[in-house]
Amino acid sequence: MITKKFGFLLAASILSLAACGQEQASDDEKSEPVTQEQASTEEEPTTEEVVEEEPAEEVTDEETTEAEPAEESSPEAKSGTASDLLSNGEMTSFVFNETGEYSIFCEPHPVMQMTVVVDDNADAMDRVAVDIADYEFGEETITVAPGTIITWTNQDQVQHNVAFE
């Protein structure tokens, strides 16, 4: 009796496995046969495919100017103007064309203050970078020549801005 049951289970298992193998074979038969040409194309990419997969990474002038705001996009420093709030890592810049003294502060944190002095006798520089960190501007006072662009970068985890009195 046990032998008949075992034989029946064994036969059912074999038939089940055979049926699974036939389904897979029939699925393979339905797909289109692969020619030797197609097989070699799939295994080895052509030169054109390799070129498309490996784009050249060139640094252009446009990419470098994206990291630093361009002069055209830097507004002129004027009393009553302010930048947007800057999150960590964000920058803002202003161009200082007129001689004089500019009082600068952070609107959300008015204790943060600095002074920019624009003097005709100062050393000419195209750009000056100032960090904002630990609730302070990186410089208390800075002297620049007319036409200098100052770029502030927020290094804090809180938002700051650059505002002019």
Q: Is the full-model pTM beyond 0.75? A: no
* Ramachandran quadrant class, 32 (left: phi over 0; alpha: psi -120 to 50; beta: rest): beta
**CA gap 47, 62 in Å, rounded:** 30
Structure tokens at 95: 């161009």
Q: Higher-confidence residue: 49 or 135?
A: 135
Helices (DSSP H) in the chain: which residue ranges? 2-30, 36-43, 47-53, 61-67
Q: With 70 as the cut, is the pLDDT of residue 137 above it?
A: yes
* Residue boundaries of the structural domains of the chain: 2-53, 74-164
The rounded percent of the chain whose pLDDT value lies above 90 is: 53
pLDDT digits (tens, 9 = 90+) for 26-76: 444 444 555 555 544 444 444 444 444 444 444 444 333 344 444 457 899
| Nearest by Cα to 87 from 134, 152, 154 | 154
In the three-class reduction of DSSP (H, G, I as helix; E, B as strand; rest coil), residue 155 is classed as: coil
pLDDT digits (tens, 9 = 90+) for 51-60: 444 444 444 4
In the three-class reduction of DSSP (H, G, I as helix; E, B as strand; rest coil), residue 40 is classed as: helix
Torsion angle defined by CA atoms of residues 155, 158, 164 and 165, in that order, rounded to the nearest 10 degrees = -130
The Cα angle at residue 134 between residues 124 and 64, in degrees rounded to 5: 45
